[in-house]
Every structure is written in structure tokens, then in C-alpha cells.
Amino acid sequence: MAEQWIYLDGQFVTKENAKVSVFDHGFLYGDGIFEGIRIYNGNIFKCKEHLDRLYDSAKSIMLNIPLTYEEMQDALVETLRRNELRDGYIRLVVSRGAGNLGLDPNRCPKASVVIIVEQLAIYSEEAYRTGLKTVSVSTRRNIPDALNPKIKSLNYLNNILVKIQSNLAGAGEAIMMNAQGYVTEGSGDNIFIIKNGVITTPPCYLGALDGITRQAIIEICHKQGYTLKEEPFTMHDVYVADEVFLTGTAAEVIAVREVDGRVIGEGHAGPITLKLLEQFRSIVDQDGLKVW
């Protein structure tokens, strides 16, 4: 990419000039929301689903996005065109905007909108075959009646603490449980387990983001005739699964080969996981909004 153009409150600025106020409550308090989106071969994958989730998150935290849905979609398209990006990652951030040092969002007259697009450093193709080493962590997922994990908020400290624990354990990703000990998700991905051909993912009410990739996989499972359940399960079920995989915009569908020292299945990506990855990759440049 030659010059990277960043969308900042209606203007396109260079990376060096892309600056927000130190009084922005996104910076001071993590008060804001975001989306991570992919563009594949000129197609913004599941654009509508991402924008719907963004506007739902905004409504939930009473954040007034200063752009209409259509204006936001246009801003996304324009940012991609400016950067001549056909394949890559889109980070869309809406922060509460600049206020005073107090918590009160009423003191922040205007939310700030930032769109950053760039190429994506993704897992190697080999990692998709070998799978990830993961650990479960002691840090519990935010309880939904404190900060609901369905809100894709800028407050990611829960996830960051989990990532620190997983780094310390030398693992590639972590598995988070909720306060009751039910599996919820990874630090930045949803989780699925497969046992005797039955695919199960935790219901989001247990404390998980309603991932767009998760939904895409659920749809693929239904279309392909797999038995798919959204049911609570525990770490025991993960340990004894035939296959385990994680889903997310950046990770797509990636197998887990080890959890807390237990080898999953054959210790590499299993056949259903690889099939789902293949089916997922066959729709990513079809389903969404065409830019190029």
C-alpha cells in the first residue's frame, strides 16, 4: 500500500495525522465500540451483519453514531477505494468523543468515527492444518449483566487479561469460561466443539460475542446438513471432543490441536473443521457488499 489513508470524522488523513484527543472517552475509559471486518477480493464480507452489530452495540450503550447507516457504508467503501484495497482488514471505531475528565458521557458532545483499512497478517496455511495450542484461563468472561460480551465495546481489558495468561502459558489462544464454569469463547474468537459428528457452540447468553463468523458457520452447518447445537458445555467436553475449532474475522475457522495439555482428536485439524473452512472460504467473496 502506498500512502495509508485513514477516515477520521469525515476527513481522509495520513497515518501521521490520524490523531484523536486525549480527552476522548474512548481513550480515557474505553467508552466506545468497534467492528473488525474483512474485504475479500473486493467484497466486504457480511457488511450488513457487521454494521447491524455496530449500530446495535451503539444503541445498547446509548452512543449516538453521527452517521446514518448509509453514510457509514459509504464511508467504508470510500476508505477502501482511497486505499485501493481489495483484500484486507477493516477496523471501524466509534468512540464517545472528547469530553472532560469525568465519566459522564453527556459531557461528550460528538462521537468520533475512525476507519482504518490495511493488509492483514493472518495465520499461515500450515497453522490451519496443524491447529493451535490453547489453554483455559482462570480469568472469567465478563458477566452479561455487568458488561455484556454481546456489545463489541472498546473495553477489551477482560480479553487482554486472558491474552496475557495465554501468552504466559505459551499458547496461541485461550479458552474463557463464565463464572459458572461454562465455556464461552476465546480471547478474540468463538468456539465450537465436535463429538460424534455433532457440532456444538455455546449460546451467546453465557457470555460470548455473537460472532459474524460464528453465524456464518452455523448457516453453513445447516445448509450442509450437519447437526448443530447451541448448548452450554464445560472444559471436560472440550477435552474429549473429536475436533475443536475457533472462528473469527481474522482467524476464519482454525483448528485447536491441544487444550490444557490434552491432545484433541489426532492432534491436528480434523476433517469436519477443514471442510467447514473450505466451505467458509467459498462464500467470503460472494456474501456481502461488492466494492470493486
Catalytically annotated residues = 152
Please report the DSSP string for 72-127 in residue order.
HHHHHHHHHHHTT-SSEEEEEEEE--B--SSS-GGG--S-EEEEEEE------HHH
Residue 158 · residue 184 · CB < 8 Å: no
Q: Determine which residue in the list 99, 214, 254, 284 makes contact with ligand PMP, applying CB under 6 A.
A: 214
Q: Binding segment for ligand PMP among 4-12, 132-140, 162-170, 206-214 (CB under 6 A)?
A: 206-214
Numbers of helices and strands, H then E, in the chain: 8, 16
Q: Which of 97, 248, 270, 288 binds ligand PMP (CB under 6 A)?
A: 248
Stretch (H or E) spanning 40:
strand 32-40
CB of 38 to ligand PMP, least distance (A): 8
Span from 123-131, 161-169, 205-213, 222-230 in contact with ligand PMP (CB under 6 A) = 205-213
In whole angstroms, the minimum distance from the beta carbon of 189 to ligand PMP comes to 5
Q: Which 3 state secondary structure label does DSSP give 54?
A: helix
Query: Judged by CB under 6 A, does residue 188 bind ligand PMP?
Result: yes
Query: Looking at 59-67, 130-138, 185-193, 230-238, which segment touches ligand PMP (CB under 6 A)?
Result: 185-193
Name the residue type at position 156.
Y
Shortest reach from residue 158's CB to ligand PMP, in Å: 9
User: Strand pairing partners for 221?
Assistant: none
Note whether 190 binds ligand PMP by CB under 6 A: yes
Annotate each residue in 11-50 with x if it binds ligand PMP (CB under 6 A) or - if it does not, as one string.
-------------------------x--------------
Q: What is the 3-class SS of 182-225, one letter each residue?
A: CEEEECCCEEEEEECCEEEECCHHHCCCCCHHHHHHHHHHHHHC
Q: Is 93 in the site for ligand PMP (CB under 6 A)?
A: no
Nearer to ligand PMP, 98 or 132 (CB): 132
**CB-nearer residue toward ligand PMP: 99 or 188:** 188
Instruction: Name the packing angle between helices 47-60 and 212-224 (round to 10°).
Output: 130
In this chain, which stretch among 123-131, 222-230, 245-253, 265-273 interacts with ligand PMP, using CB under 6 A?
A: 245-253
Query: 220 to each of 45, 48, 223, how far by Cα in Å?
Result: 15, 18, 5
- Measured distance CA(275)–CA(232) in Å, rounded: 24
Residue 172, interface with ligand PMP (CB under 6 A)? no
**163 touches ligand PMP (CB under 6 A):** no
Torsion sign across C-alpha atoms 199, 205, 210, 211: negative
| Site residues for ligand PMP per CB under 6 A | 36, 159, 185, 188-190, 209, 211-214, 247-249
